[in-house]
Every structure is written in structure tokens, then in C-alpha cells.
Structure 1
Amino acid sequence: MARVIVVEDESDLRDDLVEYLDRCGFDVRGASRGAELDRLLEECQADVIVLDINLPDEDGFSVARRVRARSPAAIIMLTARSGLIDRVIGLELGADVYLVKPVDFREVEAQIKALVRRMQKGAGPQVTAEPSFAVVGAVAVPVALSPDARKAWVFDDIEWRIQPPTGGAVPLTATEYKFLSLLVTAPGEPVSRQDISVALTGRDWDPYSRSIDSLVRRLRIKVEERSGCALPVQAVHGVGYAFVGPVVTSAVEDGAS
């Protein structure tokens, strides 16, 4: 049974998430701050830590740095901060996954299961390397990757495939390819449902249609089943979807070799 610690200062959210993950079969404990997490880790090591960034005693970034230095646990950062720079910092400090609130508990469950499977294969928690970023004006843009920074998802725009940092490449249908190509063009930035609908169907988005959500759900299941990795496509409330993991296109990767 995987051991999970949820570090969240909002008591209602923490209790609800602990209860949900407990029903999913995990051994779950809750903590409200970094010091409480430290005490729990002294009692028993965790396999996965779900860590909020905005904590009362210290921010989650410093907690992640400290935990990574002393524990092999995988880290899922759960936060209301949606900025690209925050995601890059979180991943560079040792987070394996970065989820933006409000988040579906089922997505947290799926990410935990994917991380546990990876550790059970003997790989241990893998700190995912982000592409280097340069700040142009107020925008962070990716620059060329070094050979050591290839622990990102690879979007193959020639063969129409998506490949996770671990696991095999997953072939994409034309619709799946169009959808992901919109998201990976600006990783971390949300793409509106309107833009997705126009790109996929040539029509304006119908607020009563669930076709985009159904596409995302099927694609997540497909990638999870074929590669064993959870696809880091995140719903952005009131906007659309974003690809929140590190990603390069096949052309960028080839150019960095």
C-alpha cells in the first residue's frame, strides 16, 4: 500500500483529499504545515507527498527543496499559482508533478498511481528536468535543451506521437495531434476552448458541448494505458486546457543532439 502525505493548510480541502485517497486504497496522512510534515517523515517515510505551495510557516518551494534532500518520496505540488515561472521553479526544486487548483481528485489519484508504478519498476522518483527558459519582456520562452535535459515529454510532429519521459511513444489520431499541438506550442499557458474548437472543428465553441472534455478524457486514458504515465494536460477553470509538464517537439530535440 502506497504511503501518501497531503500537506495542505486549508482544512476542508485537506480532509476531503485525505478521505478520497484513503477510499482509493492509499495509506494517507494529512499535515497543515512544513513542520508537521517533518514530524511525519521522522515517524515513517512516504512514497508520495502532495504539497501545497502556500503554507503558513514556509512556502512549498522551500519545503520541496528540504524534502528532496532527505527523502526519496515523489512530490506533487498542488497550488493556486498557475504562472509558468512558478511551475518551472517547482519542477527544478524537485517536484515530479505540478497541479493547479481547482483540481479534480481523480487526477491527483491518477498522478499518484503513475508515480508509484514508476517507483515500483525500480526507477525511483525522477526529478523531471525543465527546458531552460529565457525571459523576453514578461514572457518566459524555452531555449535549446542540453543532452542532459531530455527528461521531458516529446511531441513528435512528424510521426504524430507523444512520448513520456519514461515509457514508449503513443501514436495519435489526427484530432489528438491537432489538440496537443495547440497545447505544446506554449507549454504551461492555457489554450481556450474557443481556440480548441475552431482548430478541431472549424466552428465556435458550444458551451453545452462536452466533446472537448470527452476528447481529453479518452486521450488521458489512452496515454496512461499505453505508456504507464499520466498525461500532464490540465483543465484551467473558465478557460480551457494547458500542457503543464516539460515538453519538447521532435524538431527541438533533434536540434539539441
Structure 2
Amino acid sequence: MTTRTSILLVEDDAEINQLITQYLEKHDMDVVAVSNSDAMDTALSSRAFDLLLLDLNLPGEDGFSICRRVRAQQTLPIIIVTAKGEDVDKILGLEMGADDYVVKPFNSRELLARIRAVLRRAETRNRVGAGLPRQTYHFAGWRIELLSREVVSPKGIKVAMTGAEFDLLHALCENPNRILTRDQLINLTHGPTSGPFERSVDVLISRLRQKLEKDPKNPVIILTVRSEGYMFAASVTRS
């Protein structure tokens, strides 16, 4: 018997709560709906979930804070579902570690498609971490552990990465010495989408350079190719 996908929904609007719950349950997903961070923490401590759907405008702790906190504690996929549609909010949500961002009002079929896309990417990461070969990358003295999602510097120091930063670094390591456009990087990390996600690539590249490069203003690992995109210029080996 196939195990149903388990969704934790954090949404304080009762009508939207019911709408999302009923639609996803019709598509073979189990939904636990709560309205604030305290109830979310209780639910997370009591069972495992496959994905978190998170509103931003919540009573008490806001969604950005929740996203950052959950991402620091675990790799649970997170999709923000909110009425905040400004580009700056979308980019901030991705920087906090969200895997995707859906703006209200939304089409239920689009939400379902985005959930499935995020779950597919998470499944791929889990398969890699379950013991398949090539789960460690090495470049310029750095080590990337896919199983634990750890990034270790040449000095042996673990460098903290958000989920979005790690996924982008993973995509770059998979495609060394190849020019990748912003659209290609979006497809490799967030799936086919547009708008602020393109700008978020530039933000994430800048953040990776701050963490990986000796001189972020004159990078030698992640190069900008004018009018084309970016290239990961390091020699990458796998073990």
C-alpha cells in the first residue's frame, strides 16, 4: 500500500485552511492544519511530515521567522503560501530557506503542481543521501556532503548554508566549467518558474561567493559570464 504524502499546513485563515485541506486530501495527501507557530511546533514534535505549507501573516511568530527556524533545525521542504506578493518578500522567503513561494489568490492546481515538484526534488536528494555513489563533492579544498548537506571549508570548518544556497551550490557542482543561465539555474533548483526567482539567483550567487571565495569581489570559483550567466570554474571530483 502506498503511503500518502503528509502535509503540515500553517494558516490562520479558516476559509483558506479548509480550501487547501479539502483539495489536497482529494489528491491523496494527508493534511494537518494549524493556525500558529506553537501548534506547528507541537505537530512537528509528534510526527514526521513530508512538506510544510507556511503562511507569512500569522499571529505571534511571523512566517519568515518560522521558516528560518525550521530550516536551521531540519531539511523539511517548505513552501510559503501568502498574500505578500512583492518581489522583496519572495526573495526574502527563499533566502530564509523556503523551497518555493506561492502568492494568494492562487490556482489550486498550481499549488498541487508546486508541491509535487518540491517533493520530487526532495526525493532526489534523499535517494542521493540513502547510499548512492557520488555523494561527496571536492573542489579547491572544499568538501560538500550531500547526505548531511554539510559544506566544509579547506580548514575543516563547517560553513552554514541555507537550503536555497546549498541547492544552488549542488547544481553548480553538478555542472562544473559550464556556463549556466539564470533560467537553467532556476530549473535546477526551484523548477520552471520566473519573475523574482531570477533575481534571487543573483542574490544567492553573491552569498555563496561571500562564503566560498577568498576575495568575493574578485571571484575565481563562481565566475560571471556577461550577458550569459554563471560558471563554476573549479575542478570538481566526486567520491
TM-score exceeds 0.5 = yes
The 5 Å alignment of 1:164-175 reads: 164-166=186-188
2:8 alignment counterpart: 5
Which of the residues 193, 198, 201 maps onto 1:232?
A: 193
User: What's the TM-score once normalised by structure 1's chain length?
Assistant: 0.56
The 5 Å alignment of 1:206-217 reads: none
| Aligned AA (1:12) | E
Which of the residues 96, 105, 114 maps onto 1:111?
A: 114
Q: Structure 1's 40 and 166: CA in aligned 2 closer, same or farther, altered over 3 A?
A: same
Tell me the distance in 2 between the aligned counterparts of 1:166 and 1:107.
19
Count of aligned pairs between the two proteins: 167
Matched-pair contact (CA < 8 Å) for 1:45–1:71: no
Which of the residues 72, 82, 87 maps onto 1:69?
A: 72
Which of the residues 201, 215, 229 maps onto 1:252?
A: 229
Tell me the distance in 2 between the aligned counterparts of 1:148 and 1:26.
29
What is the Cα deviation at residue 78 of structure 1?
0.9
Residue 55 of structure 1: SS of its match in structure 2? coil
The 5 Å alignment of 1:54-93 reads: 54-93=57-96
Matched-pair contact (CA < 8 Å) for 1:98–1:244: no
Tell me the distance in 1 between the aligned counterparts of 2:16 and 2:169.
40
Matched-pair contact (CA < 8 Å) for 2:181–2:230: no
What is the Cα deviation at residue 20 of structure 1?
0.5
What is the Cα deviation at residue 70 of structure 1?
2.2
Tell me the distance in 2 between the aligned counterparts of 1:69 and 1:162.
27
The 5 Å alignment of 1:12-27 reads: 12-27=15-30
Sequence identity of aligned pairs in percent?
32
Q: Any stretches of 5+ residues in structure 2 without a counterpart?
A: 130-148, 150-161, 174-179, 203-224, 235-239
| Aligned AA (1:251) | E
| Aligned AA (2:90) | R
Tell me the distance in 1 between the aligned counterparts of 2:85 and 2:232.
30
Q: What's the CA shift string for 1:63-100, capped at 9, x where partnerless?
A: 11111122321000111112222122211111010111
| Aligned AA (2:69) | R
Tell me the distance in 1 between the aligned counterparts of 2:81 and 2:15.
15
